[in-house]
Amino acid sequence: MKNTPTVRDLRSALALLKTLPGEYVETDTEVDPHAELSGVYRYVGAGGTCQRPTRKNGPAMVFNKIKGFDDISVAIGINGSRKRVSHFLNCPPEKLGHLLKDSVQSPIPPVLTTGKAVAQEVVHLATDADFDLRTLLPAPTNTEEDAGPYITMGLCYASDPLTHESDITIHRLCVQSRDELSMWLTPGRHIDAFRMKAEELGQPLPISISIGVDPAIEIAACFEPPTTPLGFDELSIAGSLRGQAVEMVNCLTINEKAIAHAEIIIEGELLPNVRVREDQNTDTGRAMPEFPGYTGESKDALPVIKVKAVTHRHQPIWRTTVGPGEEHVNMAGIPTEASILDMVGRAMPGKLLNVFAHSAGGGKLLAVMQFKKFSPADEGRQRQAALLAFSAFPELKHVILVDEDVDIFDSDDVLWAMQTRYQGDIDTLTIPGVRCHPLDPSQVPEYSPSILQQGMSCKTIFDCTVPFHLKHHFERSKFKEVDVKRFLPDFE
């Protein structure tokens, strides 16, 4: 029997992928981190909402030679297919939302390690004369018009200056100078709440950025309120997924912790009352490609992280992602599914069978919900479930409701249900004037008179379920059950 590597960090995750056919590729051809690296992976396996042509469910990729950088490689697309995530978490792909829901309910808090952390084998201090983030770290640009090099897979960890409760999440970080990063925090994020508290006190907020970690942490960090309220440390979800606590290590130059097994750690402080224009070095007016498939506008005044130190493993692996790719779908979408399953399950147990945060919405804007009606009294409950989904995940824009015989992970099957079980005049429910996600470019007053300000949206439910009293008219053709392997032994 083949030994399967136990996933505990990025390197063991890559080792596992190397044992799985078609899930891993690498190249020794030198690549430029400026636009070229992401340009290559767009074809290899980005998927998601990326510009076509792209490849959905393509392999993860490692670039071994980065132009301008020695002894460092770059890994991309690690979570870029649901199948790969299922291997990392040892769970069937269709059950991942259920797994994460259960993990939220059985958290294992992180612990502080007492031994030497591999993430601190090599130390670079900002006080060193040759310290420069731009030459030390191969942060790529996704396109040639990006505001600058971006850290797209940095696990940002900070603590409330008053309660000392901690939070971890992924944010858009742009390299602005030798020792400064700009940080975009969408409204409602917990680290932004910590930052504002520190700013009111006139204090900097210590923050660590761990790069290249166990995929379980990358996914757990993408949970949002109300499933993980203020003060809930998402690292405890990753601990539950692994059945053991995530090990942390004290930073060297700031009063904060970081992930001990990370490839790279950036230590810094969010400065009070300091702001910077995101594209000050390029003047493009653009930030970087985001999950809806469009390049976001650069922001005029973003908080600044003053970097104090960078530590890393020997020959570290930089971790990045393509903003609109399938990797975002899985990292953001599977926690979204878990949040919806949890809220609806508590309100109406057994009715909602499964949820898919669809790739077309980047894991955030579109959910397909599989609902089962058991009796005439369940008619209408499917629409209540959709309303609860909007509460469970406020950035959700559209919900498609389908019956239990529809494969929610097969878009053709979902669209079939829409064509044969949906009438637009009676099965469309709209909720205008509701907050959604600020990166949706259609959410502007110029697009619709119902939108009073940017960031508002019309949330819509598409009820593609059969009315209970008509179910006998909508039975799918039933084919004979056979053992295909009698005819094709290698069939999967």
Span 371-400, pLDDT tens digits: 999 999 999 999 999 999 999 999 999 999
Average pLDDT estimate for 343-349: 97
Residue 246 · residue 259 · CB < 8 Å: yes
CATH 3.40.1670.10 in the chain, residue ranges: 348-473
Q: Taking residues 129-139, what's their average pLDDT?
A: 97
Report, as residue numbers or ranges, the catalytic residues: 290
The pLDDT-based confidence of 2 (bands split at 50, 70, 90) is very low
CATH code of the domain occupying 348-473: 3.40.1670.10
Give percent above pLDDT 90 in the chain: 93
Task: Assign domain 10-327 to a CATH class.
Answer: mainly beta
The neighbouring-strand residues paired with 471 are: none
At 239-294, the pLDDT tens digits run: 999 999 999 999 999 999 999 999 999 999 999 999 999 999 999 999 999 999 99
Measured CA to CA in angstroms, residue 310 lies from 53, 139, 195, 232 at distances of 37, 13, 21, 27
pTM for the model stands at 0.94
Smallest CA-to-CA distance from 312 within 123, 170, 69 is with 123
pLDDT digits (tens, 9 = 90+) for 456-477: 999 999 999 999 999 999 999 9
DSSP secondary structure string, 177-229?
ETTEEEEE--TT-HHHHHHHHHHHTT--EEEEEEES--HHHHHHTT--TTTS-
- pLDDT at site 438: 85
Q: How many residues does the chain have?
A: 492
Residue 3, pLDDT score: 54
Domain boundaries for CATH 2.30.110.10 within the chain: 10-327
- Residue 1 pLDDT greater than 50, yes or no: no
Cβ neighbourhood burial of 470 (10 Å; 0-12, 13-18, 19+): exposed
420: three-class secondary structure by DSSP: helix
Write out pLDDT tens, residues 416-450: 999 999 999 999 999 999 999 888 999 999 999 98
pLDDT of residue 453: 87
Mean pLDDT, the chain, whole residue set: 96
